[in-house]
Amino acid sequence: MATTETKVSSSSSGSSAAGLSWARVCKECGQQHEGQDSHLYEYQDEVDDELVCHICLQPLLRPMDTPCGHTYCFHCLSNFLKEQDFCPVDRQRLQLHQCRPSSLLVRNLLDKLTVMCPHNDECQQQMQRCELHPHLHNRCPAFRRLREEAEKRKRPSWNELKGRKGDGESSGDAKHSATQSRNPSRDQPEPGLINPAYEESEDDNTPLRSSLVAEANVVELFREPEEELGFRIVGGKDTPLGNIVIQEIVRDSLAARDGRLAPGDHILEVNDVSLASVPHTRAVAVLQQPSLLRLTVMQEKGFKTRDPRSDHHHSSSITSHSPHGNATSNHNPGTVLQVTLMKSQRSEPLGIKLIRKSEESGVFILDLLSGGLAAKDGKLRNNDKVLAINGHDLRHGTPESAAQIIQASEVRVNFVVMRPAECQEEGGSSREGQHGRAARRAPEPQYFRRQSTYMKDPPGGFSSQEKTVSLKKEPRLSLGITIAGGRDCRSRLPVYITSVQPVGCLHRDGTIKRGDVLLSINGVDLTQLTYNEAVSALKAQTAQSQVVLRVIQTLSEDSEEETEAANKDELDAVDDSRDDILYWTPLWTRWLGLPSHMHWCRDIVLHKTNNESWGFSIVGGYEESHGQQPFFIKTIVPGTPAHFDGRLKCGDEIVAVNGATTVGMNNSSLIPMLKLQKNKVTLTVVSWPGSLV
């Protein structure tokens, strides 16, 4: 069998760490190469020709099989097909969407190829190709040194990184804003932007904070046809949020498995298309492009303190401190612990069972095996939430990804966990308090979810209209609609229509559309029912010969695009599979126009000490140019009370603070109210699910 030697020379690969910078080195392969180029590896053995790409003549990276039976690197093939429309080997007609990832067997063979650490002046380790990434981030001394040097340098502030874009700017090229000339006006807050998260305390003993640390990063995701990226977005130029923000990462999705995106990330560009000044529906369309997506995102890293005392490391292997600054406070939702476990050898198991929970994202410790290393150490406990392992963020990770990090680690495994407070949360059930934060949230439907009594107008540009359809029909004839939602679903949504089937009488009438929210049928109120209650009511009333159906349709000023999307929905619904119909959900913007009496809200109680911020920023309030706008959560800062509590989401609407309505408030009235809450604040919020892409 023909073989070829595929080693990258030291001179071309930059094997020496000297002269490298953290900004220029690839975080995946450790080499210096352009962002669009393939990763570089130093292979130590001859590689079978069957595992070599016939375009770059290097071992395959992300191999793709063509219908004609050839295999190429994904990058090589996609770049080739941008200029040509045929297979490079046999010149048969070919398009990228016809290709499929290679089999698991081929990918495993490629992952097992032996490579050397690229920084071989300081690190001469060899490993399988799939182990190079964890080696670089957990064990390589040269890579660690580059990262530490970069962290010591002063980073630009959030404002400098993302820039301040006026309404007249069209490029939205925020990733270059850090190099632009610094304009003093950029230090002024955006109109309507309230930053209680960024307020520095006037107490003399408060550590001084610099600007919020943020990084602009590029994330590439490749998805199969019809595969979802697996995250929800909020925002858009037609909403008070302005930016496109990730609200949530869907469990076990492509984005969750990739692990680089997180809630709160601001999406600046997609495949070089700026999202800085596009409406929400356009952003969704851009993110639904097939194949490769190259996302430029702004990711917040938390506050950077200027208190030199914070730079000192504790010598103890366990450091206990509250995320709110006081581990002994009776009001803290949890305590953050740093725990280091030392294995006698790399293969020694830790004796930890990890699980996920249905009501909360992240990884939790289910059990410590008797006699295991973690049980003997005694510092980790059942129900601890794993925030990070060896520096890898697992706030929205999976047990599988946590296990991979542990297996790839050397003898030292560093855990950062949050332990739920043992005290009872004020305002909660008397049965709460002894089972941690997850148990305290169990009675949420009774204690924290209810119909909103705060009357307000929707955001500017959004409205709704009621529609009534009166039909005379045969008792056996179906209305021909499918529904979803209900006040028992996760987001406590009203019941809405997911499809109007062409066989039903409502399709012939044409008034009722996909996405309409049901109000009543024959006078029976449907707005506060669970899903099963709504199904029973519809079945009972549909059996009658006369049916009067009332629905509400939300509208926006972006009417042309919304109309086109609605028409497309109607056409697509005819061909949709049963699963597509069941799981279809409206865009986030569709919920914004609903009248307030249809909102459900919940109370979120946050606790902190006097000398720290709440950890969120808000847009909205009264402005002369836009009138009265609701207050929305725009940013949740890592390492703050709002972040560690975990219930607030970007895009949530704040309708009251400590029971006082925010309707009619402007910035100058809400900021003092938040500042006055020294230790505790109760936020009443309305939360709509973001648009799934």
Mean pLDDT for 645-655 is 90
Q: What is the DSSP string of 375-414?
A: HHH----TT-EEEEETTEE-TT--HHHHHHHHHH--SEEE
Q: For residue 639, what are the contacts with CB-CB under 8 A and spacing of at least 6? A: 302, 303, 323, 615
pLDDT of 223: 80
Q: How confident is the model at residue 207 (pLDDT cuts 50, 70, 90)?
A: very low
430-457 pLDDT per residue, tens: 333 333 333 333 333 333 467 777 777 7
HSE-up (13 A, CA, CB side) for residue 674 = 27
Mean pLDDT for 570-596 is 67
Residue 17 has pLDDT above 60, yes or no: no
Q: For residue 272, what are the contacts with CB-CB under 8 A and spacing of at least 6? A: 294
Mean pLDDT for 526-537 is 91
Q: Per this entry, what is the length of the chain?
A: 693
Give the tokens for residue 579.
């699963």
**Separation of alpha carbons 190 and 519, rounded Å:** 39
Q: How confident is the model at residue 212 (pLDDT cuts 50, 70, 90)?
A: low
132: left (phi over 0), alpha (psi -120 to 50) or beta: alpha
Residues of the chain above pLDDT 90, percent: 23
Q: How confident is the model at residue 427 (pLDDT cuts 50, 70, 90)?
A: very low
Residue 498 has pLDDT above 70, yes or no: yes
pLDDT of 583: 62
pLDDT of 358: 67
Q: What is the pTM of this model?
A: 0.58
pLDDT of 588: 93
Lowest mean pLDDT among 46-60, 190-204, 439-453, 493-507: 190-204
Residue 224 has pLDDT above 80, yes or no: no
Residue 197 has pLDDT above 50, yes or no: no
pLDDT of 74: 87
**Separation of alpha carbons 124 and 104, rounded Å:** 30
528 compared with 672, residue with greater pLDDT: 528
Most confident of 80-84, 166-170, 621-625, 651-655: 651-655
CA distances from 473 to 405, 490, 534, 535, 642 (A): 62, 35, 20, 19, 53
Residue 429 has pLDDT above 90, yes or no: no
Other CB atoms within a 10 A radius of the CB of residue 342 amount to 11
637 compared with 521, residue with greater pLDDT: 521
Residue 426 has pLDDT above 80, yes or no: no
Residue 333 has pLDDT above 70, yes or no: no
173-191 pLDDT per residue, tens: 333 333 333 333 333 344 3
What residues pair up with 419 in beta bridges, in sequence order? 335
Residue 376 has pLDDT above 70, yes or no: yes
123 compared with 568, residue with greater pLDDT: 123
Residue 562 has pLDDT above 50, yes or no: no
pLDDT of 155: 45
- Residue located via tokens 């199969």: 224
Containing 149, the helix (H) or strand (E) segment is: helix 141-152
Most confident of 34-48, 148-162, 206-220, 571-585: 34-48
Mean pLDDT for 256-267 is 89
Q: How confident is the model at residue 87 (pLDDT cuts 50, 70, 90)?
A: very high
Residue 284 has pLDDT above 90, yes or no: yes
Instruction: Spell 621-652 as b/e; 16+ CB within 10 A means b.
Output: bbeeeeebbbbbbbbbbbebbbbbbbbbbbbb
pLDDT of 566: 45
324 compared with 566, residue with greater pLDDT: 566
Mean pLDDT for 146-160 is 60
Burial class (CB in 10 A: 0-12, 13-18, 19+), 300: buried
Q: What angle do CA 23, 24, 29 make, to 5 degrees?
A: 110
Q: In what order do the strands lie in the sheet with 63-65?
A: 71-73, 63-65, 100-101
pLDDT of 428: 35
pLDDT of 153: 62
pLDDT of 674: 81
pLDDT of 473: 82
pLDDT of 492: 85
Mean pLDDT for 526-555 is 90
Q: What is the DSSP string of 595-644?
A: -GGG-EEEEEEEE--TTS--SEEEEEEEETTTEEEEEEEEEE-TTSHHHH
Average pLDDT, the chain: 75
